[in-house]
Amino acid sequence: MREPIGLNFDENDLAKEYEDFHIAAYSNSELVGILLLKPTENPEIVKMRQVAVANEWQGKGVGKAMVNFSEAFLTDKNFKKIELHARKTAVSFYLSLNYSIIGDLFYEVGIPHRKMEKTL
């Protein structure tokens, strides 16, 4: 996810993700999607981050399946809300899954985003 926007991989970034929940989608043994869930300081809220689906698998339900799985997983763990920063190009995807836009458009890593959330 970092390469297309000119960001480098940093081992320190990986170390910060140790306590996060990592969701992966596979087709046979091929990794086709990833999603990271980061608990926040509020024990009822998790932040969804770094959602990506391989180009050839986009539009085939992989992202939706990962988000739906994540919501059920988090509900089982007693989380009450998911927050995320959606790239402007992905806002309609999250709206279709009943996420709400919170606040105005902003830029993160040079890309327009919208804060979104969903109560579980």
Average pLDDT (33-47) is 96
The 10s digit of each residue's pLDDT in 2-19 is 444 354 555 555 455 567
Chain-centre distance for alpha carbon 115: 12
CATH T-level assignment (fold) for domain 3-119? Aminopeptidase (3.40.630)
The predicted structure's pLDDT at residue 72: 98
Residue 61 has pLDDT above 90, yes or no: yes
Which string of b and e fits 89-120 if b means at least 16 CB within 10 Å?
Answer: ebbebbeeeebeeeeeeeeeeeeebbbbbbeb
Per DSSP bridges, beta strands 30-39 and 45-53 are antiparallel
The predicted structure's pLDDT at residue 19: 79
Residue 83 has pLDDT above 90, yes or no: yes
